[in-house]
Amino acid sequence: MNVVPGVSGSHGFVTAGTKLPGSNGGSVEAEADFAIVAAPEGAQDLNPGNVGEQDLRAAVPGGEQLLKLSIRGDDLRWVFEHLVEGETPCCEISGATLTYVPAKPSLQRVRSVRFSSGRELEPKVTYQVVISRHLVEGESFTLGGTKCASGKACATSGLLSRWPVAESDLTGTDALREYLRRLPQPVVPPESLRLLPAR
């Protein structure tokens, strides 16, 4: 596999059409509408040139397993609000473009979400979301709280039991490897930003 400068670990978390080895011995479909990873998992750029196993592990540190959640669009709107509620976004995304207004109050910043297919986020549609366990604390998805107000606890918690969850033994490193293998060589970074601040 060969890459040019600017390809980062976050680029491989959506592996459309790939079957992941399931923790129960079966398999789950990795195909997802988009993925969310904590910033440290996707921040490392791959060195340009031929990429080996050591490079992949360095780009996606931690070896965290992937989960796939089935979440309705109205809940996802809150997930995206949590993603940009701090001074800087907490996470990287793949498979969608999030436009937000940093100057607006916390939890009121998301302007639009557009998926790679061109579709906008729809409240009543259920989406497949790939995340790593790095975004799970105990039994909760850290971005999953809904009906929230700035400075107050969310009315509904982010407990994973709220959504169908498919577990996999696959890690972010495995997903990145599969992603790079599927693309024309050398691999180039995406042309457009995924987290797009606006005025």
Which CATH number belongs to the domain containing residue 42 in this structure?
3.90.780.10
Split into its structural domains, the chain has a count of 1
118 exposure class (CB count in 10 Å sphere: 0-12, 13-18, 19+): exposed
Domain that holds residue 75: 2-197
pTM of the model: 0.80
pLDDT of 20 above 60: no
Give me the phi and psi of 58, to 5 degrees please: -70, -35
Q: Which residues pair with 127 in a beta bridge?
A: 71
Phi, psi (deg, nearest 5) at residue 82: -65, -35
Per-residue model confidence (pLDDT) at position 76: 95
Q: What is the pLDDT of residues 63-97, one digit of tens each?
A: 777 899 999 999 999 999 999 999 999 988 888 89
The confidence band for 141, taking pLDDT boundaries of 50, 70 and 90, is very high
- Output b/e per residue, 5-18; b: 16+ Cβ within 10 A: eebbbbbbbbbeeb
How far apart (Å, rounded) are the C-alpha atoms in residues 116 and 149? 30
CA angle (192 as vertex; 115, 77 as ends), nearest 5: 35
96-139 tens-digit pLDDT: 899 999 999 999 999 999 988 889 999 999 999 988 888 999 99
- How does DSSP classify residue 160? G
Q: Which of 135, 133, 134, 115 is nearest to 125 (CA)?
A: 115
